[in-house]
């Protein structure tokens, strides 16, 4: 039975049967009445309520997820500094994110992989910049920001990196280089301005070309975008790369950074008719992002069996 990310991707590419990944960790926590309106977001539970995190991971696994992502998206040096958490304690919390997810995975039947979440610099700003790309750092500054978290995730034994919600091409290049440096396989998923461009305006065809030389970026796609943008984005990427594609959109609601809330109507359709075009376009990893629940992942898993 395949037990590594590269192996299950190869199997999915051969059979055409997508791998189910989890959904919105923060949404599942908020549904339990937990307040996440602070700098550390779900990462605060690494310190304050690890058992609750493990329970939510387990909920997604029971729903059908074969990969769960750690609560490290917002676990960054900048976020820890704002929360008055020393750097060494921050590193231990990132490592704990893997341990907690592994505990949930080990209790499940069958092999479940742990993806260490690596969000963008913009996520630490708390102003919705992961959806706009409205920030600028040098390559060295990006590397200094991301290296401690990646080191901690690798040290703790993450099976892969989920380099996710990325809005800027220069940051993507640095992260791809770090994945290669640490020799850990990764998926790379970006946010969008429209169906053919990253949030910073970079054409998706340029994105695919920019990471073509990376040995560790094993899948490429989009996350936390409106479901209606998924298919045009997959088509754009498929025209330039033969790597497996990934799609895990949000519910279709719109994020308001000022209030740290989502509004407008949801449009997350888990029917076979909605998902079949994604699979045909090359999606081999499919899940959900913000505002999607274990019930949505269960719907995805059931629908994909009928395609």
What are 172's two structure tokens? 């993507």
pLDDT digits (tens, 9 = 90+) for 173-202: 999 999 999 999 999 999 999 999 999 999
pLDDT digits (tens, 9 = 90+) for 213-244: 999 999 999 999 999 999 999 999 999 999 99
- In the CATH hierarchy, which top-level class contains the domain 5-304? alpha beta
The answer to whether the beta carbons of residues 275 and 230 sit under 8 Å apart is no
Domain boundaries, the chain: 5-304
Q: Which residues of 41-71 are buried (b: 16+ CB within 10 A; e: fewer)?
A: bbbbbbeeebebbbebbbbbbebbbbbbbbb
Query: Which of 228, 239, 209, 231 is closest to 280 using CA atoms?
Result: 231
Angle at 17 between CA 12 and CA 19, to 5 degrees: 70
* Band of residue 146 on the pLDDT scale cut at 50, 70, 90: very high
pLDDT of residue 1: 44
Cα–Cα distance measured from residue 218 to residue 214, given in angstroms and rounded to the nearest whole number: 8
In the chain, the percentage of residues whose pLDDT exceeds 70 is 92
pLDDT digits (tens, 9 = 90+) for 17-56: 999 999 998 777 777 777 666 566 666 778 888 898 999 9
């Amino acid at each position: 039975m395949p037990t590594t990310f590269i192996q299950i991707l190869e199997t999915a590419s051969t059979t055409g049967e997508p791998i189910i990944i989890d959904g919105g960790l923060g949404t599942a926590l908020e549904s339990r009445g937990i307040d996440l309106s602070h700098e550390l977001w779900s990462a605060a539970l690494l310190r304050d309520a690890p058992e609750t995190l493990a329970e939510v991971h387990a909920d997604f696994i029971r729903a059908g997820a074969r990969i769960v992502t750690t609560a490290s998206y917002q676990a960054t040096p900048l976020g820890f500094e704002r929360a008055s958490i020393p750097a060494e304690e921050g590193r231990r919390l990132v490592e704990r994110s893997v341990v907690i997810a592994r505990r949930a995975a080990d209790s499940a039947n069958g092999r479940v992989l742990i993806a260490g979440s690596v969000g963008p610099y913009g996520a630490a700003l708390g102003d919705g910049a992961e959806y706009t790309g409205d920030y600028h750092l040098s390559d060295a500054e990006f590397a200094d920001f991301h290296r401690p978290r990646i080191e901690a995730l690798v040290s703790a034994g993450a099976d892969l990196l989920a380099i996710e919600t990325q809005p800027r091409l220069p940051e993507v290049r640095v992260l791809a280089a770090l994945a290669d440096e640490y020799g850990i396989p990764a998926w790379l998923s970006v946010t969008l301005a429209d169906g053919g461009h990253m949030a910073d305006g970079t054409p998706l065809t340029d994105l695919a070309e920019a990471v073509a030389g990376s040995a560790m970026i094993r899948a490429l796609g989009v996350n936390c975008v409106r479901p209606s943008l998924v298919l045009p984005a997959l088509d754009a990427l498929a025209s330039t790369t033969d790597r497996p594609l990934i799609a895990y959109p949000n519910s279709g609601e719109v994020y308001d950074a000022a209030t740290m809330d989502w509004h407008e109507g949801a449009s997350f359709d888990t029917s076979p008719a909605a998902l079949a075009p994604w699979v045909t376009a090359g999606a081999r990893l499919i899940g959900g992002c913000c505002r999607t629940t274990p019930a949505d992942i269960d719907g995805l898993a059931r629908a994909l069996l009928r395609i």
